[in-house]
Structure 1
Amino acid sequence: MKNLHLLAMTGALSLAVLSTPALAETNPGGFYAGVSLGYQSTDMDWKTERTFEPNGNLIAPFSDPTESLDDSDTSYGLFTGYNWVVGQGKWVLGAEFSALMGDASDEIRNRIPGLGDPDSNPTSFSEVETDDLALGLSFRGGYMVNNNTMVYSSLGVSQLEVETTSTCPADTNVCNPADGLQRFSDDERMTGWTLGFGAEHFLSDNLVLRAEYRHADYGDFDFTAIPAQSGSSFGADATIEVVRQTLEVGAAYKF
């Protein structure tokens, strides 16, 4: 349902761009820079791969080892790039660098997946969050459907910082109460691929409006959610899979 909502919004925005009255023919080639405003949805699926006794021996998980986390937020971005016009002026090739600001976070309030009793009190809990800044580099291919409007697709790479935190508030299920509250964090800058499509319309030789949908898959982040510690805590090794979808509208100035 979330994907359909994003695609529907992208289609509506693209139609609005395409329906803008055409002006005199413009040249899409050259340098450009702009700003964007959008909506992003981030899925962060947790899976605990192994659970351990405090002495380090493998054991079967004693709660569900999986959890789906997600968050949605407004995004703000800057982008700059260069276009080359080929094929008698109808085809456009380009490269673009972008910086997208917008964080995401979600938490599992009653357990560390695979460990602990969700019905106990107090109980352990977990949180996953992403950094405010995602950096991307993409290559674009576009087609001029009329003198002033281009539809395009893009393929690229993006980097995003992801942090996980697992907390034991002195419970008896995961951590030894005698050690007090324990908190364990891990983080990684993840690199993934992006795929997007959109439309741009030239309001003048220099001013461009755009609407774009982008899908980013950052793959898996393997980490230790909580280390097995003799006499202190059970342990768990886990994986987070991060996927982000972004819908943006933007304005650019072509030099």
Structure 2
Amino acid sequence: MPIKAFPIAVAASVAALTAANAADLPSRKMAPAAPTVYGPGPYNWTGLYVGLGGAYDRARSSATTATGGRNNTRSGAAFGGYAGYNVQLGPIVYGLEADAAVLSSGSKSNRLAGATNFRGRYDGSVRARAGYAFDRWLVYGTGGLAFRDQKVSSGLTAKSKTQTGWLAGVGVERALTDNLIARVEYTHADYGKTKALVPAGLGRGRSTDDRIMAGLSYKFGL
């Protein structure tokens, strides 16, 4: 081999050996990481909802006259709807709600002395709500303005009046799905005293109402 060609041959041999060793080294390219899978987060109660419900209703009315007190108790079913909006801040849920219900024909009684009959026809409320959320469970309290139509008749005399008062209660809700929410609620309403509650001659009247309601609502969003 000519002396001048010797360095070129050595350089070529070194290059070939380096390339062969490099091919045998493990690849520095890492396998792609598996995607991270996240589970569903806590339920979010924020949003608009509408619902329907049925209830057992028990009302008490009293009249004070010159001859003493007279009491009347009536019970029956109530059917209606409700709508509201919630805002959730951490575990605390705030909201506003309005509801209205029609009282069944059985929601009446004539046990007040003097053959006086009290008949409730419809009622409703506008109220605030505040509660604590345990993921898909919500325990809350509620309170606000209550109203109802009360008809009182005695013989040929009858009076109908829309009464107003206050309402307070407690309830629990469960999100069955992201949009369907079941509810059980107890409320107490007090309509105060009014002369127009009873026919002439019976004096002053006072009314209260206790109700246990079960409902199902649809929450928009999510």
Q: Which runs of 5+ in 2 are unaligned?
A: 1-39
* TM-superposition CA deviations, 1:98-152 (whole Å, max 9, x none): 011214222147x53xxxxxxxxxxxx3222222x112111000101x2111100
**Secondary structure in 1 matching 2:165:** strand
Q: CA deviation at 1:93?
A: 0.4
CA distance in 2, matches of 1:107, 1:222: 19
CA distance in 1, matches of 2:137, 2:50: 18
CA distance in 2, matches of 1:38, 1:106: 18
Q: Which runs of 5+ in 1 are unaligned?
A: 1-22, 49-60, 113-124, 168-182, 227-235
Figure out how many residues of one structure are paired with residues of the other and give that number: 178
**Secondary structure in 2 matching 1:225:** coil
Q: CA deviation at 1:225?
A: 2.5
**Secondary structure in 1 matching 2:199:** strand
State whether structure 2 residue 79 is matched by structure 1 residue 100: no
- Could you say which residue in structure 2 is the equivalent of 1:26? 43
CA distance in 1, matches of 2:165, 2:47: 28
- Considering Cα pairs closer than 8 Å and 6+ residues apart, tell me whether 1 or 2 has the greater RCO: 1
Segments ≥4 residues shifted beyond 2 Å? 223-226
Between structure 1 and structure 2, the one with the greater Rg is 2
- Could you say which residue in structure 2 is the equivalent of 1:177? none
- Could you say which residue in structure 2 is the equivalent of 1:207? 180
- Could you say which residue in structure 1 is the equivalent of 2:214? 249
Q: CA deviation at 1:237?
A: 4.8
Q: CA deviation at 1:216?
A: 0.5
* TM-superposition CA deviations, 1:194-249 (whole Å, max 9, x none): 001011111121111111100011111203623xxxxxxxxx25122110001011
* TM-superposition CA deviations, 1:162-210 (whole Å, max 9, x none): 122222xxxxxxxxxxxxxxx1122211001000101111112111111
Match of 2:149, as an amino acid? E
Residues 1-255 of structure 1 aligned to structure 2 (within 5 Å): 25-48=42-65, 61=66, 64-86=67-89, 89-103=90-104, 104-108=107-111, 111-112=113-114, 125-131=115-121, 133-144=122-133, 146-167=134-155, 183-223=156-196, 225-226=199-200, 236-255=201-220
Q: CA deviation at 1:45?
A: 1.1
Q: Is the 8 A contact 1:24 1:148 kept in 2?
A: no
* Structure 1 pair 225–106 and aligned structure 2 pair: CA distance change class (3 A): same
CA distance in 1, matches of 2:41, 2:62: 49
CA distance in 2, matches of 1:46, 1:106: 14
CA distance in 2, matches of 1:211, 1:197: 9
Q: TM-score, normalising length from structure 2?
A: 0.75
CA distance in 1, matches of 2:71, 2:87: 42
Match of 2:61, as an amino acid? M
CA distance in 2, matches of 1:164, 1:75: 19
* Structure 1 pair 108–210 and aligned structure 2 pair: CA distance change class (3 A): closer
Q: TM-score, normalising length from structure 1?
A: 0.66
CA distance in 2, matches of 1:147, 1:186: 49
Q: CA deviation at 1:79?
A: 0.4
Q: Is the 8 A contact 1:26 1:204 kept in 2?
A: no
Q: Give me the identity figure in percent.
A: 25
CA distance in 2, matches of 1:99, 1:127: 23
